[in-house]
Amino acid sequence: MPHTPPVPDSPPAALRLRIDRDALAANWRALDQLSGTAATAAAVKADAYGLGVDVAVPALLEAGCREFFVAHWNEVGAVLRYVAPEQVAVLHGPLTPADAAYARLTGVRPVVNSLAQARLWLEAGGGRCDLMVDTGINRLGLPLAELGDAAVGRLEIDVLHSHLASAEDDTSLNGMQLQRWNAARQQVQHRRASLANSAGIALGEAYHGDLTRPGLSLYGGVPCAALAAYIRQVVWPEAVVMQVRQLDAGESVGYNATFVAPAPMRIGVIALGYADGYLRCWSGGRGAVRSGERRLPVLGRVSMDMTVIDLAAAPELQEGDWVTVDYVLPDAAAASGLSQYELLTLLGRRFAR
Ligand SMILES: *Cc1c(COP(=O)(O)O)cnc(C)c1O
């Protein structure tokens, strides 16, 4: 039998994401400034890159953002609690008649990515939509050769999009995609045009069109050096020290005993593990937490729900104290081999947000 009456609220979590809403808002404003006369949207797919739509979307709205992009249809509901449907678009577009019907019911714009999607949308009754054209990433998007199709001509296109494959790199692909996107703008009727993700904004005015679509840099990611001066860290994972232990020389720590104490030492067990997105790549001292400025390295293997840290540099730390995980995105990416995108979107549901 289920627990009746209703299950009481959980006590506070031993794990939380401190999200600097001011930094998030400042990042949006900085990217908006860099976007010049173009409006600046926000990619809030994947639960706002793991931050949580409930935290990120209100902060972005307050900063002045008025356009939001998700990837899946099942991400729409969370955003519509804060934003009018005309301000939301779904990047994957309608894959099924049910998707198209949902778009019509809610008033959210589908981003049409192929002739099949265009026909599906028109058959469902159509209406305002966006169109994604492929200019070289070969992921989603209508091939340029199909732009003249009658179905495209019948679409009521708000934003004509394309997406850059390597905006963070200095490569000729950027210029080629820009040229193709500009050609597409000549070929199809549309209200607004959009090309740039975060790194694309740094490529300059020619890439801005009417609307830019940053994601990563809103949340503290720095995809290219040109943005480093403008972007602030937003996400600070924090965990409680659940237990403090004293090790004798020769004792080992964690699964497979990969760390052996060379001398007596004081260690802490924190409530953070790979189930929370703190992957095993941080094992063996690659990862660390901070207490103030002091760095407390990870000892041994990260396990599912726990990580062990060296308390030598912070002898006053006690059970119940909080530590901050070393997670400055560009540095953490370099240290772990994970991308800044992965580092954000990995952060799990057990963090209080
Ligand atoms: C995710 C996404 C973005 C945002 O990209 P960032 O690199 O995170 O700034 C923009 N446009 C499209 C089509 C996307 O899928």
Provide residues with CB under 6 Å of ligand 1.
Answer: 43, 45, 91, 163, 197-198, 213-216
Atom of ligand 1 nearest to the CA of 111: 13
pLDDT digits (tens, 9 = 90+) for 192-226: 999 999 999 999 999 999 999 999 999 999 999 99
Q: What is the pLDDT of residues 65-90, one digit of tens each?
A: 999 999 999 999 999 999 999 999 99
Which residues share a beta bridge with 17? 237
Those residues whose C-beta lies under 8 Å from the C-beta of residue 180, and which sit 6 or more positions away, are 133, 135, 136, 144, 162
Choice among 102, 255, 274, 341 that is catalytic = 255
User: In terms of residues, how long is the chain?
Assistant: 353
CA pair distance 212, 66, nearest whole angstrom: 12
Let me know if 45 is a catalytic residue. yes
- For residue 167, give the ligand 1 atom closest to its CA: 7
pLDDT digits (tens, 9 = 90+) for 168-186: 999 999 999 999 999 999 9
d(CA 139, ligand 1 centre) in Å:
13
Distance in Å, CA 13 to ligand 1 centroid: 31
Query: Would the pTM of this model clear 0.85, i.e. be above it?
Result: yes
Alpha carbon of 7 to ligand 1 centroid (Å)? 39
Q: How far is the CA of 167 from the centre of ligand 1 (A)?
A: 11
Instruction: From first to last of the 353 residues of the chain, give the pLDDT tens digit.
Output: 666 778 899 999 999 999 999 999 999 999 999 999 999 999 999 999 999 999 999 999 999 999 999 999 999 999 999 999 999 999 999 999 999 999 999 999 999 999 999 999 999 999 999 999 999 999 999 999 999 999 999 999 999 999 999 999 999 999 999 999 999 999 999 999 999 999 999 999 999 999 999 999 999 999 999 999 999 999 999 999 999 999 999 999 999 999 999 999 999 999 999 999 999 999 999 999 999 999 999 999 999 999 999 999 999 999 999 999 999 999 999 999 999 999 999 999 999 99
Is residue 327 annotated as part of the catalytic site, yes or no? no
344 and 329 Cβ atoms separated by less than 8 Å:
yes
Rounded-to-integer distance, Cα 29 and Cα 322, Å = 31
Closest Cα to atom 15, ligand 1: which residue? 91
**Ligand 1: nearest atom to the Cα of 161:** 13
